[in-house]
Amino acid sequence: PQVKKILDNQGIIANFAGDAFTAVFPEDNDLQLAKLTAIQINNWFLEKGKFKTLFGEEQLSVHFGLSRGEIQWGICKGYKNRKLYYFKGSAMDQVFENVDELDFTKLTIRNVNQRNNIEDNKIFNVVKEFENSEVLKYFRSPEMRDVVSVFIQFENINNHQEISELFKLLDYDLIEYGGILNKLFFGDKGLTALIFFGAPIAIEQSEENSLDFILRFQQNFNQKFTHAKMRCGITRGLVYVGLTGGEKRNEWTALGDSVNTSARLMTSVQWNQISVQEKIVNKNDNFKFNFQGLFDLKGKKGKTPIYYLDQKLQLKEIDLKTEFINREQEQYWLKKVSSPLDSNRFAGINIIIGESGLGKTRLIEEFQKQTDFRWIKLVCKGFTKKSFYPVSLWLKNYFDIDGQNNREKIVNTINQLSRKIVENQDLKDELLRSSSFLASLVDVYWEDSLWEQIQPKLRLENQIQSFKTLIKALSLEKPLVVYIDDVQFIDEYTSKWLTQLTVNIEDCPIMILISSWPGYIDGEEWFKKIKIDNKLQLSGLSDEKIYYAIVNRICGGSPSDKLINFLKEKGHDLPLFCEQLTLHLKSLGMLQLNKEGLWDLVGEYEKVPENISDLLVARLDRLDTQLKEAIKYASVIGNQFDETVFGNVIYHSDNFKNSDQDFLFSAYQEGLIEPLEKENSKHWVFRSPMLREMAYKLQPPSKRIEIHNHAALTIEELYKDNLEPYYDDLIYHFFNSNNILKEVKYLPASAERAMERFENENAVNLFQRIIEISLNNRDLISKKILCKAERSLGYINIVIGKLKKGYEYYDLAEIRLKSFNNHKMLVDLMTAKADILYKIGNKDKSFSIIEKAKKLAEENNFKLELAQIYNTLGYMYQDQNEFEKAEYFYKKAESIARKEDIKLLGNIYANIANLMYVKNENGIEIYLKKGIEIAEKINNLRLKTNILNSYAVYCAKTNNFKKAEEIFVEQYDLTKKTGDLSAQGVTLNNLAYLNVSYLNNNKRALEFYNKALEVYKELNNDQGKLTIVVNILEILINENKYDDLSRFLNELSKVNPENVKRDKEITNTIQTLIDIISRKKDEQKILIDIKNKLNEMLMYLSDKGGEDEI
């Protein structure tokens, strides 16, 4: 009613400040309207200000101040176009000094004309320009929230330009730390800013974020406003969060003792100091605070301790105050296995194995605090098998990915790191080359990048290699620990990266530390490929100290012997279970302090659940009814869930129609969920996957189906403009809601997307699901989609080397295509089948199928398909030495491709040149150069690489060895650019062979062989390593250069013969070297050792039997 009186009397509310507000009357030169309003408000308090309480009748009172003078006002624009208004001037300054000086007995007014009430208008579009977007988005009803309040006072910020710049600076710095600028206004303390962390929505680590923010802001403020000063007070406490004011004029804010205290702390310190509440100081050991003494604060009984914020500490400076219990031996183990890092050496692959709840994460975190190493923590999550998920999560933080200027951030970060690499030019070049592949791991892409120019298989290889390169580069700055948490949940491609990371890093100061549940990874193929250097089996904790620590953390004191024995008996030596059990007992009031001041058991404590599952269900049952129901809804949406989807599902449910509870914040306070990423609170994850599973199972199937379907429909509506990132979520929910019709809508596109990204495992599952649905629901899947699924499964199996299975899928697809007369797809499929059959040796059947495909294509005039068929027939006849037929089909393919497909034309030119070489005809270079020209025109790096190889071989065969070397070097540079390690190995081997056999330059040959050896070591390719090492040894022994023989004998010893395919070339090479050593007259031990090792290798390969099928 008081606000309405001001508005009725032509006044304006300039600002609200706690339980006060300031009003201005712009047209009231002689104070008549202002005095009238003061009298009306005072009369209302006298007449209606009494109310009854449990302690008797109370009288509300009101205090006034009145002044007249100049008032200025302005509107400022912030970082993201948010606006802010302010009022300032001599009248505002004077009114605060006049409070309590107004004498109503002497106050007289003349008749004044009152204006009519302001009509209600739709002003949301105006409001949203001034109010914080988070408030407009999340605030629904008043709440009591635990909020951090930051009050800042400024001096010598006076003109509009300075106020605008200050607003922008505040707005910009708050974006990173998640705070809300509630107001920037002139009041009784001059120009002040009020900021909240934790309202209108909760944020992770609100205290730490507020301290990080004020340190950053203070630094920026001092740099920008050298003439001005600031001081600050920071507190945390339970406050009212909601609207203050009246129906026609109000604002969102937070009110409470904690907010008032932050203002008093602010004014209690000197300028340029930051005062912090004691309870915040006690919980933030990673900051340095200075105790300044005990002070009297208005409204506070007794003395209040005052602390000043000094700085944020580096990890090594943090004073550990929490005792780490009973893991001394394990800590010693970690120090021992990491000791090679102290001398900048590789510290191996180390694994810690233990059941969930045994404290693996705590053990490693405590060890981390004691080291000066750089740590990269990759967290594998059981709720997702998304490719490279833990890698992507870490890279987003490393590159500070937030939706703005992401490409620039990535490129700048990589450039900065590369400038620090001064001694390893190859690593520096590789890091710079890798930028677009690292960017792809966080879904950042740009046109004409190297990522865009290469084929999918090489993209995957480059992603793996690029992150390894980044790891190696970071290790040059400081010894590095790569910690992979919960590796039992690792996805397919992160496991491929891990196996690649572990090879050829013996000279890098890196330690790989893995934690896992027991029995989960022993049988995994990726795990068999890595060599574990050290293994620690974590056992349960039996020392009584652990029970003291748990009870002290939860209850704030020590346990009695009775409680310790109970936890020992029921807790199964699992800290997680003991912790949940203690929480459960406390919540039921079964823990009380006894006469000795120890926490003891009371009541029917024997009836507590016996296992972790029952205990988690009991924990859910302790929640209030609606929160428990909301958690059950969230569990259906997923272990990881979108806040907006959850809110929409809850909003439209009859179970929550009359609820104004903030379920996410309540669940967060209960320790049930947490933000998925520090900088992104829109996505949440259950802290315990087991608790989520319990909540999911508590619901009847019919209810789960309903929620799954609602969640999927919500995602469809919310993200209808770009559904591609949500395909997996939609398929998951529609599958679990038995909505097959909707599931089928997204399956094909999702499967194609996975195949394009080379996510073979996911693609296979999705395509197989399409086939599975078609078996029982033929009308839901079109024949064309089904055929594409079968063909795609065939293609994927062929790519991963399962030729027989791939061919079987091709057969199924062919049968289906014939049934609905899709001749174009059928021709394409038959050509692919013929190609496979020819490569695996079934040449007669291959010719039969491709002839049928040719006939069908000619009948239907499928020109592009015919060009591909003619090209395939060309190389098949060339392989059969039927050169005239080969040339005939190549020429026919060329005539069509020249008009239809320039990429195919480039391949045809390469094939024609190869045929001309075989026939010993002139003009080969013309076709090779044409092919290269096309490859460059269409920016096809793979095609250019292949043609360069053919060109170099042609030059070598025609004795133009120097030209051949030049072209091989160009090819090698191109394979380095594309990151094709396999092609690099082959090209380097060719260069070495050219030098040793034709250019008589053994020194240069050894350079190329050594580079090739490094490549094959990186690939962990024993076949390649064996070939290269034997060739190097042959050169060194022939030249009697024995100094380096021991190094290459060591490399030879590392070759695993089980991974070497037996063929005549490798066995002949080994036998030749054995003969060379045998002819040597000197009997040096190193030669004998090499000969014995080679004989051992040759014997093993001989025992393998005939040549492996290639």
Report yes or no on 321 lying in a domain: no
With 90 as the cut, is the pLDDT of residue 869 above it?
yes
Report yes or no on 1052 lying in a domain: no
With 90 as the cut, is the pLDDT of residue 1029 above it?
yes
CATH value at residue 281: 3.30.70.1230
CA dist., res. 990 & res. 985, Å (int):
9
Residue where a domain terminates, one of 558, 578, 610: 610
Q: How high is the pLDDT of residue 468? A: 94
> CB within 8 A of 354, min separation 6: which ones?
360, 515, 517, 518, 537, 538, 539
Find the length of the chain: 1110
Report yes or no on 927 lying in a domain: no
Report yes or no on 522 lying in a domain: yes
User: What's the whole-number average pLDDT of the chain?
Assistant: 83
Do 459 and 412 lie in one domain? The reply is yes
DSSP 27: T
Residue where a domain terminates, one of 578, 610, 642: 610
Report yes or no on 659 lying in a domain: no
CATH value at residue 452: 3.40.50.300
Do 421 and 522 lie in one domain? The reply is yes
Q: How high is the pLDDT of residue 184? A: 87
Report yes or no on 773 lying in a domain: no
> H helices within 82-195, ranges in order?
90-97, 124-130, 133-138, 160-177
CA dist., res. 379 & res. 375, Å (int):
12
Confidence class for position 621, pLDDT limits 50, 70, 90: confident
Do 350 and 310 lie in one domain? The reply is no
Do 291 and 438 lie in one domain? The reply is no
Do 49 and 72 lie in one domain? The reply is yes
Q: Evaluate the omega torsion of the peptide bond into residue 559 and state whether it is cis, within 30 degrees of 0.
A: no
> CB within 8 A of 68, min separation 6: which ones?
29, 31, 91
Do 23 and 169 lie in one domain? The reply is yes
Do 471 and 595 lie in one domain? The reply is no
CA dist., res. 326 & res. 352, Å (int):
16
Which H helix or E strand runs over 676?
strand 673-677
Do 473 and 509 lie in one domain? The reply is yes
> CB within 8 A of 858, min separation 6: which ones?
866
Do 205 and 97 lie in one domain? The reply is yes
Provide the whole-model pTM.
0.57
- Which residues are bridge partners to 511 per DSSP? 481
Residue where a domain terminates, one of 535, 567, 599: 535
Q: How high is the pLDDT of residue 147? A: 85
Biggest CA pair distance of the chain: 129
Q: How high is the pLDDT of residue 865? A: 93
Mark 776-797 as b/e (b = at least 16 C-beta within 10 Å).
Answer: eeeeebeeebbbbbbbbbbbbb
Q: How high is the pLDDT of residue 103? A: 64
Contact 535, 504 (CB under 8 A): no
Structural domain that includes position 206: 2-315
Report yes or no on 341 lying in a domain: yes
* Residue 88 to residues 70, 82, 167, 185, Cα–Cα distance (Å): 8, 20, 15, 8
Report yes or no on 502 lying in a domain: yes
CA dist., res. 288 & res. 274, Å (int):
12
What residue type is assigned to position 280 of the chain? I
Do 290 and 154 lie in one domain? The reply is yes
**Ordered DSSP codes for 428-451:** HHHHHHTHHHHHHTTT---TT-HH
Token pair in block for residue 844: 């007669």
Confidence class for position 835, pLDDT limits 50, 70, 90: confident
> Which range among 9-23, 163-177, 949-963 has the greatest average pLDDT?
949-963
| The total number of structural domains that make up the chain | 3
- Comparing C-alpha atoms, which of 1073, 1006, 1060, 1062 is closest to residue 1034? 1073
CA dist., res. 1033 & res. 1044, Å (int):
9
Mean pLDDT, residues 194-221 taken together: 84
Least confident among 238-242, 736-740, 1070-1074: 238-242
Do 309 and 407 lie in one domain? The reply is no
CA dist., res. 807 & res. 798, Å (int):
8
Share of residues in the chain with pLDDT > 70 (%): 88
pLDDT tens readout for residues 677-686: 654 457 788 8
Least confident among 139-143, 163-167, 703-707, 774-778: 139-143
pLDDT tens readout for residues 337-365: 999 999 999 999 999 988 766 678 778 88
Contact 352, 570 (CB under 8 A): no
CA dist., res. 1027 & res. 1031, Å (int):
6
Do 157 and 22 lie in one domain? The reply is yes
